[in-house]
Structure 1
Amino acid sequence: MAAGEGEDKKSQQHIVMLPFLAQGHLIPFLTLAGNLRRRFGAAVTVTIATTPLNARYLRAADPQNHIHIHELPFDSSDHDLPPAVENTEALPLRHVIKLFHASAALETPFRSLIRRISVADGRPPLCIISDVFTAWANDVAAATGTVNVVFSTGGAYGTAAYISLWQNLPHRTSSSDDGNFSLPGFPAAHQFHVSHLHPYLRAADGADDWSRFFQPQIGKSLKSFGWLCNTAAEIESLGFEILKNYVQKSVWCVGPLIIPARTAVAGIDSRTGKKFGVSPEDCLRWLDGQSEKSVLYISFGSQNTIGLSQMTELALGLEDSRFPFIWVLRPPAGFDVDGEFRREWLPAGFEERTARKNQGLLVRGWAPQVEILGHRSTAAFLSHCGWNSAVESLSQGVALIGWPLAAEQGYNCKLLAEEMGVCVELGRGAECEVGREEVRRVVETAAGGGRKAAEMRRRAAEVGRKIRAAVAEDGGGGSAWKALDDFIAAVGGRTNLIVP
């Protein structure tokens, strides 16, 4: 051993991360892990523990191997799931709850991992950073002499609403006839509506499969040492206060964790491992040919989709609006979401007409979203309002049209529309009726030249400046980096870790 090597090993701290098995969770965890390494260098070793197929994706997304990836054994066939299913993206929504319950099987091998690390390092890890949905890590931390910190990959407002709704099911006891109800932890003026809730939550009674998973996990998460949140307090001041008061723990806002620009190797997106449906070069070339602030970008994320009739009306409304658009197509609800897209799912002649007029670019597969949102021609983003997509859009000053479909997306859309003023809602849920005339009207409102569109763009640009300031690294860094320092100081108070 070289001189000083033992001392370096002794001063190095180990952080072990445990994301849930979903793309929208894995990517923020990997980005957070990268930020820890960038901020603290060799003083911190970061290990992400996940299942073999998700580990393969993470390794592909981190080709320089700055982050240690540990595989936790998992066989989906043991849990009444199809073979080789280790991610929600590979499942229809009605089966996703099985994967949630199956993920608890990771506790035993994860506990063994923490013990092995403790033996190898001569002490327990500095901390575990777990997902809200893997909060059984609190039990592992307590048994192995460390602490667990919960990382919410969503924003503060959406996270607070999500955990309060599942814990309290307030819509079931509301006496309101109009569907509105108050949410524990939120100001009385912030009324929610049953249509904000996913059908599984709307029907939950505390004894159903969804409640039996979410309620215990959220309860455990509230016993953690503290919370990390993928947001910045300056863009979500209300949400931050609500979340902090609800969890009664320290909350460190270490985001938004913006995904870096993507690069392609042989047509594959290096950040996701997905095959591009259009090359970034061809996509940007098409955008270059459009007028500034004229293009509508449409994507419902990696797992969500709308129904066939909704898809038809959306297509017709887009054509009526005459706005140029890029639409990331996925099979409609009820079909294999990862299957091939069929031409008959769109109105007859739609693709040919919009291509001939240079109005539409239809993408079957993955699109270079970061680059599209950052292009001068992009005017607005029709989105499911997943938090990762929302902050990617706002970081570029692009306003949104919201059509939330699942998870906490309805609460995100409520925040973006009612609190931030950067979004107008088109639809709510996979069951809602949206007609072509409503599509045309909303697109014109959000992407056109009127007062409403100008005000949304102004507000989005303001939020974008705050996001970029929060994640800036110069001069000691913005609030995201300072929150990371404060977090490490809190969990490392009994160690000799030196913050640069």
Structure 2
Amino acid sequence: MAVEGSEMAMKPTVVLYPMSGVGHLLPMVELAKLFLRHDFAVAVVLMQFPIKHPSLDSFISSVSAAHPSISFHQLPPPDDSFIASVSTTFPSIPMTFDGVRPNNHELLRFLAAHRRENDVRAVVLDFLCTVALDVVVAELDIPAYFFIATGASALASMLYFPSLELTDPGLGELADTPFHFPGLPPIPASDMPREVMDPASESCECFVNKIAPRLPDGDAFLINSFELLEAEAVKALREGACLPGRRMPKIYCIGPLITEGSRGKDETKAECMAWLDAQPRDSVVFLCFGSMGSFSVEQLKQIAVGLERSGQRFLWVVGIPKDPPTATSELDLDVLLPEGFLERTKQRGMVAKSWAPQVEVLNHGSVGCFVSHCGWNSTLEAISAGVAIVAWPLYAEQRMNKVFLVEQMKLAVVMEGYDREMVEADEVEAKVRWVMESEGGRELRRRAAAAKEMAAEAWSERGSSRQAWLDLVKTLKLKI
């Protein structure tokens, strides 16, 4: 942990308060780096949370080594019974809310002490940390900004969702009934986040009454997106259409915030990049489904069969399945995948266990297509690299991201069957062939290449994200 010195105490300071998930922490760290470039001291406060990704500590250590000016502070456990008191199943909305709330007392102690020695100008809260808002604003009267780690379209839906006034039957019984949000394409009920599909559920009640209504109480939204990518959603947000009857905080689209590079297993990284170097340009299908993406063994076999039949080159990241055949956590690809698959495809395919350097892979010239779970970080990484997406959403808001990518941005095609128990091998084969071989696929890839130019333009000298960032800096009274 960094020690604040007299030099740091003289600088304007921001405090960042991310969720503990890697997908939330990564873009928040990129935000911290932006503040550092404008002579801002940055403290990242890490809450205690019942679920902790195994790579979290190593990621923080690597960031601290590369950027010692970013000061990380771990809050102490609220009490001895904290972990036992909160469900440690897959993070649900109530579990997230109940996991953040016990940290409020320690957060208050930290902020009160920190601002006695530092010029704290603002606290940037993860958008799921609305329960910490009263600590920052009511108790300490510090400006509070919400960092939106997902896109402007997702924010528009979150803000407007309580206005839908859902009644039984819940979304789960409405199948493909479209829901209409300002600035967004119609979203089928089946593509809404499953946790809010039942208005009688604890998850829906928590989101509608405890999280979404508090978001407008922040001073501004810092969105990890850029205006040209989500122009209609940004317009709806700025005009207040997503918050009928309420004040709309200021919008700063400051994305895409992309990690500098993947930090992980150096040996795996070297193997992946060496293999890609040997492949023709735009020839490789890259399959990766995020840090929490998981399939059944049978689904892994269907993917393998589809890839083999397709005849396409591929780099496939295989994680631990939902139903491993043995209790060990060690991945045995020969057991998980069809007999002889690895040998038969070794001339045109590479299978990586659990991890690959995604940012570097997407930016490699041999990659022509990305089969993705549509997590927002992965989405922005693909867009910034100019790689077409095959959308295979798995959880959280990923199905909505699929709708935005396919219907509005025109940067993805759907892997049919994602919403059923099994995506068949025939669909895997057909979809990767379509992207890599057909005229429609070539047009999709041309649009992806154009989106890459737009992403770069956003942070050019006169780009929208750069101008939004400089406006934010000015608001916080920083010297540029």
Q: Match for residue 88 of structure 1? A: none
**8 Å CA contact retained: 2:78, 2:106:** no
Distance of 1:251 and 1:337 partners within structure 2: 48
**8 Å CA contact retained: 1:232, 1:254:** yes
Q: Match for residue 342 of structure 2? A: 351
Deviates more, 1:47-56 or 1:320-329: 47-56
Distance of 1:236 and 1:20 partners within structure 2: 24
**8 Å CA contact retained: 1:171, 1:194:** no
Matched, 1:238 2:232: yes
SS of aligned partner of 1:306: coil
**8 Å CA contact retained: 1:307, 1:430:** no
Letter in 2 for 1:62: S
How many Å apart are 1:120 and its aligned residue? 2.0
Cα RMSD (Å) of the superposition? 3.0
Q: Report the identity percentage.
A: 24
Q: Match for residue 479 of structure 2? A: 499
Q: Match for residue 68 of structure 2? A: 65
How many Å apart are 1:429 and its aligned residue? 4.7
Distance of 1:154 and 1:255 partners within structure 2: 10
**8 Å CA contact retained: 2:159, 2:215:** no
Distance of 2:237 and 2:323 partners within structure 1: 35
Distance of 1:92 and 1:275 partners within structure 2: 27
How many Å apart are 1:195 and its aligned residue? 2.2
SS of aligned partner of 1:256: coil
Q: Match for residue 185 of structure 1? A: 182
Matched, 1:196 2:181: no
Matched, 1:339 2:341: no
Letter in 2 for 1:119: R
**8 Å CA contact retained: 1:206, 1:212:** no
SS of aligned partner of 1:136: helix
- Once the two structures are superposed, the pairs formed by residues 104-115 of structure 1 within 5 Å of their partners are 104-115=101-112
Q: Aligned pair count?
A: 459
How many Å apart are 1:289 and its aligned residue? 1.9
Q: Match for residue 34 of structure 2? A: 35
Distance of 1:141 and 1:378 partners within structure 2: 45
Distance of 2:418 and 2:318 partners within structure 1: 18
**8 Å CA contact retained: 1:198, 1:405:** no
**8 Å CA contact retained: 1:399, 1:423:** yes
Letter in 1 for 2:332: R
Distance of 2:163 and 2:69 partners within structure 1: 38
**8 Å CA contact retained: 1:301, 1:386:** yes
SS of aligned partner of 1:129: strand
Distance of 1:405 and 1:10 partners within structure 2: 44
**8 Å CA contact retained: 2:183, 2:234:** no
- Once the two structures are superposed, the pairs formed by residues 414-493 of structure 1 within 5 Å of their partners are 414-427=403-416, 429=418, 431-448=420-437, 450-472=438-460, 475=461, 478-490=463-475, 492=476
Distance of 2:44 and 2:97 partners within structure 1: 19
Could you say if the C-alpha distance between residues 45 and 73 of structure 1 is closer, same or farther in structure 2, counting changes exceeding 3 Å?
same
Distance of 1:131 and 1:215 partners within structure 2: 18
Could you say if the C-alpha distance between residues 229 and 391 of structure 1 is closer, same or farther in structure 2, counting changes exceeding 3 Å?
same
How many Å apart are 1:254 and its aligned residue? 0.8
How many Å apart are 1:149 and its aligned residue? 0.6
TM-score, normalisation: structure 2: 0.87
- Once the two structures are superposed, the pairs formed by residues 136-285 of structure 1 within 5 Å of their partners are 136-142=131-137, 143-165=139-161, 168=164, 170=166, 172=168, 179-186=176-183, 190-202=185-197, 204-209=198-203, 211-212=205-206, 215-244=209-238, 245=240, 246-247=242-243, 248-262=248-262, 269=263, 274-275=264-265, 279-285=268-274
**8 Å CA contact retained: 1:55, 1:69:** no
Find the partner of 1:131 among 126, 131, 138: 126
Distance of 1:443 and 1:16 partners within structure 2: 44
SS of aligned partner of 1:452: helix
Q: CA offsets per residue over residues 260-318 of structure 1, 9 Å max, x none? A: 134xxxxxx2xxxx435x53222122112222111000000011122332222111111
Could you say if the C-alpha distance between residues 225 and 338 of structure 1 is closer, same or farther in structure 2, counting changes exceeding 3 Å?
farther
Q: Match for residue 291 of structure 2? A: 302
**8 Å CA contact retained: 2:222, 2:251:** yes
Q: Match for residue 102 of structure 1? A: 99
TM-score, normalisation: structure 1: 0.84
Deviates more, 1:359-368 or 1:243-252: 243-252
Distance of 1:18 and 1:456 partners within structure 2: 38
Distance of 1:313 and 1:291 partners within structure 2: 26
Letter in 2 for 1:154: T
SS of aligned partner of 1:405: coil
Letter in 1 for 2:250: S
SS of aligned partner of 1:154: coil
SS of aligned partner of 1:126: strand
Q: CA offsets per residue over residues 102-134 of structure 1, 9 Å max, x none? A: 12111111111111122223x6x2111001111
How many Å apart are 1:365 and its aligned residue? 2.6
SS of aligned partner of 2:380: helix
Distance of 1:55 and 1:364 partners within structure 2: 20
Q: 5+ unaligned residues in a row in structure 2: which ranges?
A: none
SS of aligned partner of 1:305: coil
Distance of 1:215 and 1:94 partners within structure 2: 18
Q: Match for residue 12 of structure 1? A: 11
Q: CA offsets per residue over residues 139-190 of structure 1, 9 Å max, x none? A: 1222212111101011111232245447747485689965223234356xx3
SS of aligned partner of 1:62: helix
Letter in 2 for 1:456: L
How many Å apart are 1:334 and its aligned residue? 4.2
